[in-house]
Amino acid sequence: MGMQIAPSILSADFANLETEIARVSTADWLHFDVMDGHFVPNLTVGLPVLERIAQVSPMPVDAHLMIENPDRWAPRYAEAGAASVTFHYEAAKDPKAIARDLRALGVRASVALKPGTPVDAVLDDIKYFDMVLVMTVEPGFGGQSFMPDMLPKVEALRAAARDAAHDLWIQTDGGIARDTIEQTARAGCDVFVAGSAVYGAADPAAEVDALRDLAAAAAK
């Protein structure tokens, strides 16, 4: 796999989601942010919306669960049609068990780290996961500033994956745009979430391609 771009529909027009999804058809994934008003202060959408989005989206859906009790709920998002499910380490009682459940349902299992969570939390367990999401903002809202001090976590994960010969995808989410994607790619990230940078562009599909090209060139 090369560099992959996952536009976040958090920055899309929620009254016209099918049209908004079509505007990013050059993307590799559609990033679907679930917030419960408890794990994060904000509240977005959940299972019934994901179920319909997965039916109409030409791209596979990458669900990012910013919710409490992912041990119970993460498998439901796999059953609802997500092809990749990311839950937060901080909210999980048993991260490895959730990953096992997700893989058993045939989807990619991914764990996310808030900015304050050290990468050591998952470094010895990467084999259980298909992807690790390193948050580059405090989860909860789109349009925040990128935190470059998160990049050492990406570097540590990339080194650990190499040592373990594990094909781990590393995702970043928050403040990814033309001016931040190159350093992030060089650190070892290969899946980039972008909300405001993509949906704020005049041509979102072209912006997806531009971001992917920048990441690919930087990582060479």
Q: Enumerate the active-site residues.
A: 33, 173
The site partner of 140 among ligand DX5, Zn ion, none (C-beta below 5 to 8 Å per kind) is: ligand DX5
The site partner of 152 among ligand DX5, Zn ion, none (C-beta below 5 to 8 Å per kind) is: none
Q: Which residues of 67-98 are buried (b: 16+ CB within 10 A; e: fewer)?
A: bbebbebbbbbbebbbbbbbbbbbbbeebeeb
Residue 74 and residue 93 in contact, taking contact as beta carbons nearer than 8 Å: no
Instruction: Candidates 19-27, 123-131, 144-152, 169-177: pick the segment binding Zn ion (CB under 5 A).
Output: 169-177
Residue 173 lies near Zn ion (rule: CB under 5 A): yes
Q: Which residues contact 106 (CB under 8 A, 6 or more apart)?
A: 78
Separation of CA 104 from chain center: 20
Q: Which of positions 58-117 make contact with Zn ion (CB under 5 A)?
A: 64
The site partner of 46 among Zn ion, ligand DX5, none (C-beta below 5 to 8 Å per kind) is: none
Where does this chain bind ligand DX5 (CB under 6 A)? 8, 10-11, 31, 33, 64, 137, 139-144, 173-176, 193-197
Q: Report in angstroms how near the CB of residue 155 gets to ligand DX5 at its nearest.
A: 21
What six digits make up the tokens of 207?
């912006």
Amino acid sitting at position 154:
V
209 closest CA partner among 220, 219, 197: 197
Site string for Zn ion, 12-51 (x = CB under 5 A): ---------------------x------------------
The residues that touch Zn ion, with contacts defined as CB under 5 A, are: 33, 64, 173
